[in-house]
A and B are shown apart, each in its own frame.
Chain A
Amino acid sequence: MQTSIRVIATGAMLLTAWVAAVAPGAADDPPNDAPNADAAMASPAMEQLMRMADFLSQLGQFSVTLQSGYDVVQESGQKIEFGERRELVLVRPDRLQVDVERSDGQASRVIFDGESIGVFDATRNMYASSPMQGDIDASIRHFVKDLNMRLPLAMLFVTTLPEELEERVQQTAIVDTSMLDSKPFVHLAARTDGVDFQVWIPESGDPLPRRIVLTYKDEEGQPQYWANFSDWNLSPGPLATLMSFDVPDDATRIPFLAEIPASAMPSAATGEAK
């Protein structure tokens, strides 16, 4: 019985989605194709995913610890895992701090304090800073897209997360209910163009992700990025005052590679290994 209801709902959703797709504003998709707005939008799995997205995107502040790792498929075909631990503090509208400790011991910090975005490499005692006016959404986009800097799971920390998921997710499913830390978590699997991801969300209580796994399905060896979230704190305290970009006096200032004009580089760089 449940299956037939789902089939009817599928048909209704497809019809509605088709009407929505041919409306102005959706001109980027070919007419009568609505790949993003199929029955996945109304499925229980998508509801769970959006429950998490809505909650996360509306939080005024939070801090969390991420223990993460990712695969690198070597030229030999051997797959090696590297990892890192991140401590993230976010206070909307415009304070963000990420402390990173890589598995090889290198430590760094990313700070956005409302006026500039900077990265401090504690291991090498170097820092880069770039002026940035705007909110966290704008600064994250600038950091990742324009400065070509790395901020894993950046999409989880913007207020437009629900819209991002609605646009990208093509298919979702509830895999099972997993027991982690002796508590039940809903295990969701979603597919987007180029990336599949799975997320574990508490069955009850605040829908804060416990674990996320991204699979780069079109890349050789289908490497994955995974992160375990812990120590979620929705009241991290008055940390706005602590988020100023303090660097040691003897730290060297360096530019972001993306900000170096091409004119400053030699036109015929031979690039030989030394």
Chain B
Amino acid sequence: MKNRASLQVFTFGPAILFIGAVSLDVDARGRGDAGARGMAGGGGGFSAAGPARGGSFSARSAPRAAAGGGAMDQADRSDRAGSRQDFRTDAAQGRQDMRGERQDTVSDGRDDRQDHRDEYRDDRQDYREDVRDDRQDYYDDRWDNWGTGAAVVAGAAIVGSAITAAAYYDLDCTTVVVDGISYSDCGDTWYQPAYSGGDVTYVVIDAPPGY
């Protein structure tokens, strides 16, 4: 793509803002040391989780913590939306400049509409965040906004209070079944396998009744 160089220029700066805003989340995942592992075969050291994994038609609004499943902290979501807003504004301007090169393939009236739309899209984004809860019953345009679920790194890493299946298998655990549900006694911690996203993860759990 011939515009790749200019695209990288326009996204690099806001990408730093973006990365900074989610640095906490990255730290939680960072212990996988994906880069240090290098290209070990069979997915070793590479994360298979990311925003594109969901195949969703809507963008995620905030990363979801594995623990507690689906419960999003309101403050985190607003902060993240704010940082993403800056990113989108700058990126939109980057794309705006590039679009001039494609003038001959776009109809005449569309450029004016695009400028107009970029301006009130930003306003609408803030407005939409505010009224989303009210709109929930009327129309939820993010219902298929699947977050990364239990973001797992191929390797021993912990997200929230859950660990990957690979990390779990390195532990020495005894399985107990209580009321038809399986629990794992791994010494000082109890884990429970649970389905989240597309994978089984092992979440830290209180000891089952009777233990």
Residue ranges of A at the interface with B (Cβ–Cβ < 8 Å): 3, 6-7, 10, 28-30, 33, 35, 38-39, 68, 70-76, 78, 80, 82, 100, 102, 104, 108, 119, 121, 124, 126, 128, 141, 144-155, 164, 167-168, 170-171, 173, 192-195, 197, 214, 216-220, 222-225, 227, 252-260, 262, 264-266, 269, 271-274
Contact = CB atoms under 8 A, between A and B. Distances in A.
Contact of B170 (A102, A144, A214, A274): A274
B150 A257 contact: yes
Contact of B206 (A141, A192, A266): A266
Given A150-B197, A258-B70, A218 B87 contact: yes
Contacts of A147: 70
Contact of A74 (B47, B57, B125): B47
A257 B198 CA distance: 11
Contacts of A262: 67-68, 71
A269 B160 contact: yes
A38 B107 CA distance: 14
Given A28-B138, A254-B192, A274-B163, A218 B88 contact: yes
A7 B149 CA distance: 45
A141 B127 CA distance: 25
A243 to B, nearest CB: 19
Contacts of A82: 43, 48, 53
B204 A271 contact: yes
B200 A254 contact: yes
Interface in B139-171: 139, 141, 143-147, 149-150, 156-158, 160-163, 165, 167, 170-171
Contacts of A168: 57-58, 141
Given A193-B125, A254-B193, 13 more contacts: A39-B109, A70-B53, A76-B35, A121-B195, A124-B200, A148-B196, A150-B198, A164-B57, A252-B182, A255-B194, A257-B150, A260-B69, A264-B205
B104 to A, nearest CB: 12
Given A149-B198, A216-B52, A266-B161, A3 B58 contact: no
23 contacts: A28-B138, A35-B121, A38-B117, A72-B48, A75-B35, A119-B195, A167-B139, A170-B121, A171-B110, A193-B121, A216-B52, A216-B59, A223-B50, A224-B52, A225-B55, A254-B200, A257-B150, A257-B203, A260-B68, A260-B192, A265-B205, A271-B160, A274-B170
Nearest to B139: A167
Nearest to B95: A217
The interface residues of chain A, by DSSP majority, are classed as mixed
B163 to A, nearest CB: 7
A247 B61 CA distance: 35
Contacts of B42: 104
B96 interface: no
Nearest to A254: B193
Q: Which of A78, A144, A265 is the most central at the interface, judged by chain B CB atoms within 10 Å of its CB?
A: A265
A27 to B, nearest CB: 9
Contacts, number: 256
Contacts of A256: 69, 194-196
Contacts of A219: 50-52, 59
Q: Across chains A and B, which 3 residue pairs bring their CB atoms closest together, nearest first?
A: A152-B55, A194-B59, A269-B161
Given A76-B34, A168-B141, A153 B18 contact: no
Contacts of B11: 220, 222
Contacts of A271: 158, 160-161, 204
Given A30-B127, A218-B59, A121 B200 contact: yes
Contacts of B145: 145
A72 B58 contact: no
Nearest to B117: A35
B141 A260 contact: no
Nearest to B195: A128
B167 A71 contact: no
Contacts of A217: 91
A64 to B, nearest CB: 14
Nearest to B134: A28
Contact of A28 (B49, B117, B125, B131): B131
Given A33-B120, A70-B50, A148-B196, A220 B15 contact: yes
